[in-house]
Amino acid sequence: MKLHAGGYLAFFLPDRTSPVEFPLDHPVLLKDILEQLRVPISEIQMVSLNGSQVDWNALLVSDSDVVHIISAVDGG
Amino acid sequence: MIGQSEKILRINLTTGTISTEILPDDFYRLYPGGKALAGYILLNELPANTPAFSPDNVLVFANGLLTGAPVSTATRYVVSAKSPLTDGYGESEAAGFWGPELKMAGYEAIIVKGKAEKPVTIWVDEEQVEIRSAEHLWGKPTEEVQTIIRQEMNDDKIRVLQIGPAGENLVRFAGITNDLRHFNGRNGMGAVMGSKNLRAIAVRGNQRYQGKAVAPDRLMGLGRKLAKAVRENPLSWDLQNRGTPGIVEPLNQGGILPTRNFQQGVFENVDAIIWEAYEKELLTARKSCYACAVRCKREVSLDGEVSPYGGPEYETIGAFGPNCGVGDLQAIARANELCNAYMLDSISTGATIAFAMECFEHGLITMEDTGGIDLRFGNADAMLAMIEQIALRQGLGDLLAEGSRRAAEKIGGDAPFFAMHVKGQELAMHEARGKYNVGMGYAISEIGADHLVVAHDPALANPDSITFKSALPLGIENAAPVRSLNAEKMKHFYILEKWGSFEKVVGLCFFGPAPRSFIHPDEVLEAVNSATGWQLEIPDLLKIGERATNMARLFNLREGFMRKDDTLPERIFQPLENGPLKGESYPRAEFQQALTTLYTLKGWNPESGVPTRSLLEDLSLEWAIPLIAEIES
């Protein structure tokens, strides 16, 4: 699974680097992966799975999935 | 001492007179620089209904109380005048080095009146102030002019603020640059400068800010603490790491990346312009403004050479990329260079070209009008050609140089529907249909569509988030959904607008204070009190911002603006065409209700939007009370 962190969420990923490759041999709850990575749930504003926004509360992700987690994004 | 005996410089270009003035201490407490000082001067010294290009227009360059302080992000100054784009209160802020240098030269502000007979520059070296001929500089690109001025003065540390050929040609959205990489882009302040035949103001100074602070050790200690905090806070870390170009992809994922003149919210070629592509194709270094540890500025290379103008920010990428349908990072970077060489506001330029592209695709502008240019969305070469035509007022560019509102009125037909502006100023690259308070900011801002009125909605959507918690000291109590205009959202707006305005008064960058970034409100307060010894509290800071906003509001009302002008382009009330928010529109009826709620919260007449007498008394603006009767008559 490929995890992209948008906004300031890359700050919380290992080496503060996005994207992160996360090999999965079976579907796993995204929430569990984020907890393992210590990404604070409170900072996630939106999740998209393979290009579509999803309700990620009970989202299962698989090895071939591309997931974007996005924080609050402000002006530039 | 900071806040005491602050000095301003007055220059009349018609008569050539130069004078200085000391601001009374009690006056400065009410109007401590920036937006507040500029607003006061415009309301009191610029007669109502003066044309923007009249020699009588008053052009104010005003530092903030904290500009030049040894604290990250305290770098900004305001340029203000009646705007030729909106015919209302004009204002634009920039960071960089010029403001701090002006402070080091001993001046809080420069007020320019009149019009020089021939092109001139102003040279400020502390007590030595001169008006010099600029006839040999007129018509030249900005990089060349900066080089010549520095060579003539034999000093490469001189800070040069200047317009470019676009300002000389009175393009209504011409901007001002300092050090070639920092821009007072919005509202056409460069055109006002050009109308006065003023090409540049070069400054040199040696008086360090901390030498004038009441508690310099405390201020320096705060500066060191904040410099460390930049990399410990995720928001400022991200600004340093990726800068504003980093937001392209998340906005696209959210379906709120303005695409093809705000018709869509998702751009199919986004991968070519996201941060990873920028880093690979363009980036050479990360740069900073004066004494700022955030280092959010990008330096880029084009055709193997480092650009003197810095790299495109998000707004520029958005305006020339998705909004013109262009998925070509090299072309966007070239557009950025052209805008900065001619000194055009990249937001209004890109937005006006996108408007023209839509007119072209609907047959309202023809190949005959464009001189054979195929001005369709996605044609990068056509886009670059139009930038030059606008700057030089050639061909169709002469019409587009008037801005999208005026151009649409002349083109007729459906063109006004395609002109994405508020009060004549083009929207920045943020989609109001996905961030409702950004839309409210576009609608109500005194300068026309401005994306920096309040922190954007997502910051206060989750009560457990870093951004929400950091806003609690400002009086924010409850979280509220991003796509809502409920009473709680209007409270957010009411508070955050005052905070944002305060930042523009004291010279803090939007990328400094919470909730947008890393400086806690208590630390902002500490900076102000360490500099001045005033012992203010946070509500006092908010009142400073509120006072400035209300003066700008009064200016516009005096010019004839009304509640009906606080609105959004019709397209925003129509559904988005694609992406996650496909079919979603900005709610028209709720917007009107929210506007009434907000006016009431702000102490304005809920029907007319005119500040009430009691509000002006509360803000110590009693001198402005007679304006209420003048406006209402």
Of A8, A10, A73, the CB nearest to B251: A73
3-state secondary structure of B295: coil
Say yes or no: A6 contacts chain B, CB-CB below 8 A. yes
The two structure tokens encoding residue B333 = 């970077």
Which among B234, B315, B516 has the least Cβ separation from residue A74?
B516
Across the range B534-544, mean pLDDT stands at 98
Element (H, E) at B371: none
Distance CA B62, CA B98 (A): 11
Contact between chains at A16 and B237 (C-beta distance less than 8 A) = yes
Q: What is the average pLDDT score of chain B? A: 97
Residue recorded with tokens 């924080």 = A71
pLDDT tens for residues B126-179? 999 999 999 999 999 999 999 999 999 999 999 999 999 999 999 999 999 999
Cα separation, B613 vs B625, in Å, equals 6
What is the pLDDT confidence band of residue B295, given thresholds at 50, 70 and 90? very high
Residues of B in contact with A10 (CB under 8 A): 238, 241
> What DSSP string runs through B551-608?
HHHHHHHHTT--GGGS---GGGGS-B-SSTTBT----HHHHHHHHHHHHHHTTB-TTT
Q: Provide the token pair at B602.
A: 């702000």
> What is the pLDDT, as a whole number, of residue A57?
87
Q: Tokens 């579907």 appear where? A: A27
pLDDT in tens, B227-286: 999 999 999 999 999 999 999 999 999 999 999 999 999 999 999 999 999 999 999 999
Token output for A18: 């996005």
State the amino acid at position B161 in one-letter form: L
Q: Model confidence over B418-455: pLDDT tens digits?
A: 999 999 999 999 999 999 999 999 999 999 999 999 99
Q: What is the pLDDT of residues B448-480, one digit of tens each?
A: 999 999 999 999 999 999 999 999 999 999 999
Say yes or no: B430 contacts chain A, CB-CB below 8 A.
Answer: yes
The 10s digit of each residue's pLDDT in B83-105 is: 999 999 999 999 999 999 999 99
Name residue B415's beta-bridge partners.
Answer: none
For B314, name the nearest residue in chain A, comparing CA atoms only: A76
Distance in angstroms (rounded) separating the CA atoms of residues B87 and B443: 16
- Contact between B256 and B433 (Cβ < 8 Å): yes
Judged by average pLDDT, the poorest of A40-54, B54-68, B314-328, B486-500 is A40-54
User: Using an 8 Å Cβ cutoff, are B235 and B519 in contact?
Assistant: no
Contacts of B280 (CB under 8 A, 6+ apart): none
Pair type for strands B305-306 and B297-302 = antiparallel
Distance CA B162, CA B134 (A): 11
Q: Which amino acid is at A12?
A: F
- Nearest neighbour of B247 by CB, restricted to A46, A68, A73: A73
How confident is the model at residue B491, as a pLDDT?
98
Cα–Cα distance for residue pair B412/B364, rounded to 1 Å: 8
Segments of chain A scoring below 50 in pLDDT:
none
Mutate to test the interface with B, among A2, A3, A8 (most CBs of B within 10 A): A8
Q: What is the pLDDT, as a whole number, of residue B597?
A: 98
Q: Considering only the C-alpha atoms of chain A, give the largest distance between any 2 of them, rounded to a whole number of Å.
A: 40
Chain B, residues 457-486, CB within 8 A of chain A, namely 458-459, 461-462, 464-467, 482
B95 in contact with chain A, both atoms CB, cutoff 8 A? no
Q: Give residue B633's pLDDT band: very low, low, confident or very high (50, 70, 90).
A: confident
- HEC readout, B454-502: CCCHHHHCCCCCHHHHHHHHHCCCCCCCCCCCCHHHHHHHHHHHHHHHH
Q: Is the pLDDT of residue B181 over 90?
A: yes
Helices (H) and strands (E) in chain A, counts: 1, 7
User: Rounded CA gap, B555 and B548, in Å?
Assistant: 11
Using an 8 Å CB-CB cutoff, list chain B residues near A39: none
| 3-class state of residue A58 by DSSP | coil
CA B453/CA A54 separation, integer angstroms: 30
pLDDT range class, residue B632, cuts 50, 70, 90: confident
From B621, B620, B615, select the one nearest B603 (Cα to Cα).
B615
Element (H, E) at B386: helix B380-392
C-beta atoms of A73 and B452 within 8 A = no
A72: buried, middle or exposed (CB in 10 Å: 19+, 13-18, 0-12)? buried
C-alpha to C-alpha distance for B622 and B624, rounded to whole angstroms: 5
- What are the φ and ψ backbone dihedral angles of B318, each rounded to 5 degrees? -65, -45
Verify whether the Cβ–Cβ distance A8 to B315 is below 8 Å: no
Helices (H), B215-313: 216-229, 234-241, 248-253, 275-281
Residues of A with CB below 8 A from B451's CB? 75
Alpha-carbon distance of A58 to A31, in angstroms, equals: 7
What's at B69, amino acid-wise?
Answer: A
Q: Which of B248, B253, B315 to mutate to test the interface with A (most CBs of A within 10 A)?
A: B253
Residue B568's pLDDT band, with cuts at 50, 70 and 90, is very high
Q: pLDDT tens across B372-388, in order?
A: 999 999 999 999 999 99
Chain A: closest CA distance from residue B455 (Å): 7
Task: Give the separation between CA B359 and CA B435, rounded to whole angstroms.
Answer: 27
Q: How far apart are the first and last CA of chain B?
A: 44
> B466–A53: do the CB atoms touch at under 8 Å?
no
B32 close to B66: Cβ distance less than 8 angstroms: no
Task: Report chain A residues whose CB lies below 8 A from the CB of B251.
Answer: 73
| Closest CB from B238, B451, B455 relative to A7 | B238
pLDDT band at B550 (very low <50, low <70, confident <90, very high): very high
3-state SS track over B150-193: HHHHCCCCCEEEECCHHHHCCCCCECEEECCCEEECHHHHHHHH
The proportion of chain B whose per-residue pLDDT surpasses 90, expressed as a percent, equals 99
CB contact under 8 A, B250 and A7: yes
CA distance B435 to B453: 13
Inter-chain residue contact A53 with B516, CB threshold 8 Å? no
Handedness of CA B284, B289, B291, B294 (dihedral sign): negative
Is pLDDT at B10 greater than 90 in this prediction? yes
Instruction: Determine the pLDDT at residue B1.
Output: 86
Chain B residues in contact with A71 by the CB 8 A cut-off are 234, 250, 458
The answer to whether B94 touches B184, Cβ cutoff 8 Å, is yes
Give the ipTM of the model, two decimals please: 0.96
Residue B431's pLDDT is 98
* Number of CB pairs, chain A paired with chain B, less than 8 A apart: 87
User: Which of A 33-72 lie inside 8 A of B, CB atoms?
Assistant: 42-43, 45-46, 48, 52-53, 68, 70-72
Q: What amino acid is encoded at A46 in this protein?
A: M
Confidence band of B122 (pLDDT split at 50, 70, 90): very high
